[in-house]
Chain A
Amino acid sequence: MSPIDFDIAHMLAGLLVLISFLELYQDRLYALLNVYAAHALVLALSVAWQAFIQDAPHLYVTAVIALVFKAAVIPVALHRIIVRLGIHRGIEKVVSIGMTMLAGMGLVALSLVVMLRVTQQAGRLAQEDLAFALSVVLLGLLMMVTRRNAVGQVVGFMSLENGLVLAATGAKGMPLVVEISVAFSILIAFIVIGIFLFRIRERFDTVDVQVMDSFRGEHR
C-alpha cells in the first residue's frame, strides 16, 4: 500500500470523527441534520476509498447505499418530519456543550488507547480505522445520552451506525451480506422510529422524552 492510500483513508476516517464532534456541538435541528448528511457523505467517500485500495468492488455497493440512503433519503425525510412536527426550537441539552465536548475528547482518547493496544497484530490501516470507528460509535452513544429530543437521539443512533459501517469496511474480508443487512436494519429502524415519532406526537403533543416520562404509569 502506498503512503498516499493510507493517508487518504486515515484522513477520511479522522474527518468522520471530527464531524461527529460537530454533531455534538449543534443545538439546532436543521443544522444537526445537515451535519449528519455531511457525516454520511464522508462515510460514503471513506467506504469508496476502501473499495478502491482493497480492490473490493462489492464495497462500492455499500458506499452507494450510504450515499443514497444516509446522505440523502434519511436527512430529507427527517427534515420533512421536523417541518410537519413543527419543532424549530433549539435542542435543550441535558449536559452543557462544553462538558459534552470534554467528555467526547475523553472517549476518543479512550478508544485510541484501547484499540491501538488490543489490535497490535492487525495491519496499521485496520488498526487506525478500528480506533476511529470506535470513537465514532462512542460519540454517537454520547449524543443519544445527552439529547432530550427524540429526533436528536435518532441522529445519534444513525451516526453510531456509521461508525459500525466504518469498522466493517476497514476490516478486510467482511462479506457484503453483513453490510447490506446492517444497512437495511438501520433503514427499518429509521422507518419504525419515524412512525413512532408521529404516533407519540399525536398522543402527547411533544417529542421531548423528558416530558413523555411523566406520562408513564409507574411512578419513580
Chain B
Amino acid sequence: MTLAVILICAAFLLALAPFALVTRPVQVASRLIYGASLAVSVASLAASLAHLLAAAPAETIALPLGIPWLGAHFRLDALSGFFLIVVDLGAIGASLFALGHGLHETAPERVLPFYPAFLTGMTCVVLADDAFTFLLSWEFMSLTSWALVMAHHRVPENVRAGFIYLVMASFGTLCLLLGFGLLAGSDGHYTFAQMRAAHPSAAVGAMAMLLVLFGAGSKAGIVPLHVWLPLAHPAAPSHVSALMSGVMTKVAVYGFIRIVFELAGGPAWWWSIVVLTLAGVTTVMGVLYALMQHDLKRLLAYHTVENIGIVFIGLGLALAFKAYDMSFAAALAFTAALLHVLNHSLFKSLLFFGSGAVLAATGERDMEHLGGLIHRMPQTAFVFLVGCVAISALPPLNGFVSEWLTFQAILLSPQLPSWGLKLLVPAVGALLALSAALAAACFVKAYGVTFLGRPRTQAAKAAVEADSFSLAAMMLLAALCLVAGILPGLFIDAIAPASSALIGARMPAQSGLQWLSIIPIAASRSSYDGLLLFLFMIISGTLAASAIHRFASDRLRRAPAWDCGYPDPNPATQYSAMSFAQPIRRVFGSVVFQAREVAGMPPPGDTRPAWLKVELRDLIWDYLYAPLAATVGSAAERLNRLQFLTIRQFLTLVFGALVILLMVLAVWS
C-alpha cells in the first residue's frame, strides 16, 4: 500500500514535466512545478516515514512495464525507506527554495521540465527491485540531471562540465551493467530477489563488488572518479546543485549498499581494504581541493567529495567487521555511515541554498568578490553559519554525531584479527581526523570571506536579503540539522531496521536512555548527549553575553578601534580567501597540487602594482585522465580509416571476423 502511494507520487512527478512546457507565463509554470513537487514530496515523505517508523515488512509490486515477461519490480524495505526519506527531504527543501529562487532563473524552460523528472528518477532507483529497472532509473536520473547541468548551455565551462559528466556517467553505468551481468549469472536472474537467493561464488562477488565500487563510486564522487562532480554540480541552478550534491550522491551510495551488502554475497576481508583506502584518500583529497577553491559553489561540491569519503569509511568498516562476523561493530559502522548520509544531505542542501541565495543577491560565486553580507543578508548569514558548523562536525549539530560514531567504530578496529586492517584502519582514522580539521578551516574561510568583513565589490554592497520561500527552506533544513544533532537517538533507532536487514545486527535502542543521550557501545566507554551540550552552550552563552552587557556597556558601538595596521579603507586590503588558504597550501599543496607561488615586483619607478600568482596542478587529471583522453583520441584517429573502406572491404572484414570467431570456437571447445 505504502509502496503504491510512493510509486503514484513518482508517476505524478513524471506526468508533471510536460506541464512546464505548456503553462504560460513562466512565473506561473515555475510556481506550479515547484509547488506540485513540494506537495508530492511531502506525501511521499509521509508515506515512507510511516513505513519506516512502523517497522513494516517489505512490500513488493511487479508492474507490467519495460521488458515483456520480465516487468518492472519495485520493493520498499527499511533501507529503501530510509533513502527515500533522504530523497524526499532534499526534494522538499529544493522545491520550497525554488518557489522563490526559481524566479531568478534566466532559462526556466530548460529547468522546469527536467526537475520533477529528476526527482522521479531518484525515487525509482531507490525502489527498483530488478537490475533492468535499476539501470533504467539510474540512467534516467543521470540524463535528467545532465539536462539540468546544461541549462545554461551557452557558458563554455558548462559545456565542458556536461561532456565530462556524460562520459563519467556512461562509464559508471557500464560498470554497473557488467556488475549486474555477473550477479545475474548465465541464467539471467535479473530480479534482486533471485540474486539474493543465488549466493554468487567468491570470485564473482569480488568482481561485482569492484565494478559496483567504480560504477556507484563514479556517481558518488570517489577519488579518482570525482572529476566531473566539482564541474557539474556548480553548473546547475542552485536548487538542483543541492539535489545533485545532497541527494543524487546518496542515491549512488544506496546503489553501493544494496548491491555489495545484499546481493554480492558475504564480503571477503580484503574488500574493506580497497574501500577504506579509496575512502580515506577521497576524504583528504576532497577537503584539500575545497581549500584551494574560491568559487563558493565549487568549494561546496568538493566538500561533497570529502563527505562521500566519510560515508564510505563507515561502509568500509562495516564490510571489515562483517567479514569477521563482528556484527555488533559492523552495525555501528553501518549506522554511522547511514546517519552521515542523512546529515550530509541536510547540511549540504542548506549550504547550496545559501550559496544560491548569495548568487541571486549578488550575481557572484567568487568569494573574492563578496564580503560583508552578514549586514545585508542577516538571516541567510545565520542559517549558512548553522550549515558551516554542521559540516565542520562541531557539536551540537548533526555533523558531529555521525563523524563521532564513525570514530567509535574506528576505535573498535583493534579487535579485528587481520593485521592489515589493524594497521590500515587507524591510518584512515588519522586521515578522517585531518580532514575534519581541514574542513573546519575551509568553512571558516568560506564563511569569513563571504559574510564577514567589508564588501569587496559593488555587487556585494548592493545585496538584499533572500525571499521568504528561500529563507523558509533554509530555516527548515537548519532546524532539521539541529534536531538531528540534539536528538540523534531517534535517527539511530530509525536506521536500526535497515541495519538488521543488511548486517544482521543493530545498535542498541537509544531512545529510552536518560537525557536523550546516545551510548553506541557501553556507558563505560563513551556516550554523547547533544541535548545537554546544547542546553549548556545556550545557558553559558546567554550568561556570558548578559554578564558582558551588564558589566560593560549594553550599547552596540562602531568605532575605528584597532584597524589591524591598515588604515587604507579599500576593502581589497582585507584578508582574502587566497591568503587564508596560504598556510595550508604551503604545507599540503606543494606536494599534492605542485603548488607554486610566483611574485612579480615591478622595477622602481614603475607604477604598475606588484602581483602574486599561484599555480596549482591537478595531478589526478594530469596523470590519469589526460593520458587516457590522449590514448582514446589517437586510437579514434587510427580507427577513423575504417570509415572509408569499400563495400567489399567491409564485407571482407565481417567475413574475416566470422571465420576467426569460428576458428576460436573450433580450437577452444
* Residues of chain A whose beta carbon lies under 8 Å from any beta carbon of chain B: 94, 107, 110-111, 113-114, 117-118, 138, 141-142, 144-145, 148, 209-210, 213, 218-220
A37 smallest CB distance to B (angstroms): 24
Query: How long is the Cα–Cα vector from A117 to B643 in the complex, in angstroms?
Result: 37
B430 within 8 A of A: no
The reply to whether B655 and A145 form a contact with Cβ atoms under 8 Å apart is: yes
Residues of A near B648 (CB, < 8 A) are 94, 144-145, 148, 209-210
Q: Which of B646, B651, B666 contacts A144 (CB 8 A)?
A: B651
Could you list 30 examples of A-B contacts with CB < 8 Å?
A94-B648, A107-B659, A110-B659, A110-B662, A110-B663, A113-B666, A114-B662, A114-B666, A117-B669, A118-B665, A118-B669, A138-B658, A141-B654, A141-B655, A141-B658, A142-B655, A144-B651, A144-B655, A145-B648, A145-B651, A145-B652, A148-B648, A209-B647, A209-B648, A210-B646, A210-B648, A213-B646, A218-B643, A218-B644, A220-B644
Per the CB 8 Å criterion, the residue count for chain B at the interface is 18
Residues of B near A142 (CB, < 8 A) are 655
Instruction: Indicate whether A114 sits within 8 Å of B665 (C-beta atoms), given known contacts A145-B648, A213-B646.
Output: yes
Residues of B near A219 (CB, < 8 A) are 644
Segment 613-669 of B: residues with Cβ below 8 Å from A: 641, 643-648, 651-652, 654-655, 658-659, 662-663, 665-666, 669
B640 smallest CB distance to A (angstroms): 11
Query: How long is the Cα–Cα vector from A218 to B652 in the complex, in angstroms?
Result: 20
Residues of B near A141 (CB, < 8 A) are 651, 654-655, 658
Query: How long is the Cα–Cα vector from A210 to B643 in the complex, in angstroms?
Result: 17
A28 smallest CB distance to B (angstroms): 20
Residues of A near B654 (CB, < 8 A) are 141
Segment 151-194 of B: residues with Cβ below 8 Å from A: none
A115 smallest CB distance to B (angstroms): 9
* Residues of chain B whose beta carbon lies under 8 Å from any beta carbon of chain A: 641, 643-648, 651-652, 654-655, 658-659, 662-663, 665-666, 669
Query: How long is the Cα–Cα vector from A218 to B646 in the complex, in angstroms?
Result: 11
The reply to whether B647 and A111 form a contact with Cβ atoms under 8 Å apart is: no
How many A-B contacts are there with CB distance less than 8 Å? 43
Residues of B near A114 (CB, < 8 A) are 662, 665-666
Summarize B's interface: helix, strand, loop or mixed.
helix
The reply to whether A209 and B665 form a contact with Cβ atoms under 8 Å apart is: no
Query: How long is the Cα–Cα vector from A113 to B669 in the complex, in angstroms?
Result: 10
Residues of B near A118 (CB, < 8 A) are 665, 669
Query: How long is the Cα–Cα vector from A141 to B659 in the complex, in angstroms?
Result: 10
Q: Which of B641, B646, B658 contacts A209 (CB 8 A)?
A: B646
Q: What 6 A-B pairs are tightest by C-beta distance, nearest first?
A: A113-B666, A213-B646, A220-B644, A114-B666, A141-B655, A145-B652
B645 to A, closest residue via Cβ:
A220
Query: How long is the Cα–Cα vector from A213 to B643 in the complex, in angstroms?
Result: 13
The reply to whether A117 and B651 form a contact with Cβ atoms under 8 Å apart is: no
B641 to A, closest residue via Cβ:
A220
Q: Which of B641, B645, B651, B666 contacts A110 (CB 8 A)?
A: B666
Query: How long is the Cα–Cα vector from A110 to B661 in the complex, in angstroms?
Result: 11
Query: How long is the Cα–Cα vector from A193 to B392 in the complex, in angstroms?
Result: 71
A99 smallest CB distance to B (angstroms): 14
Residues of A near B663 (CB, < 8 A) are 110
Residues of A near B651 (CB, < 8 A) are 141, 144-145
Query: How long is the Cα–Cα vector from A26 to B260 in the complex, in angstroms?
Result: 63
Residues of A near B641 (CB, < 8 A) are 220
Residues of A near B647 (CB, < 8 A) are 209, 213
Residues of B near A113 (CB, < 8 A) are 666
A110 to B, closest residue via Cβ:
B662
Query: How long is the Cα–Cα vector from A126 to B665 in the complex, in angstroms?
Result: 19
Name which of B645, B646, B663, B666 has the most chain A CB atoms within 10 A of its CB. B666
Query: How long is the Cα–Cα vector from A144 to B650 in the complex, in angstroms?
Result: 11
A34 smallest CB distance to B (angstroms): 24
Query: How long is the Cα–Cα vector from A138 to B658 in the complex, in angstroms?
Result: 9
Query: How long is the Cα–Cα vector from A158 to B223 in the complex, in angstroms?
Result: 56
Residues of B near A138 (CB, < 8 A) are 658-659
Residues of B near A117 (CB, < 8 A) are 666, 669
Residues of B near A220 (CB, < 8 A) are 641, 644-645
Query: How long is the Cα–Cα vector from A145 to B169 in the complex, in angstroms?
Result: 40
A148 to B, closest residue via Cβ:
B648
A32 smallest CB distance to B (angstroms): 17
The reply to whether A111 and B662 form a contact with Cβ atoms under 8 Å apart is: yes
A104 smallest CB distance to B (angstroms): 12
Query: How long is the Cα–Cα vector from A60 to B647 in the complex, in angstroms?
Result: 36
Query: How long is the Cα–Cα vector from A219 to B643 in the complex, in angstroms?
Result: 11
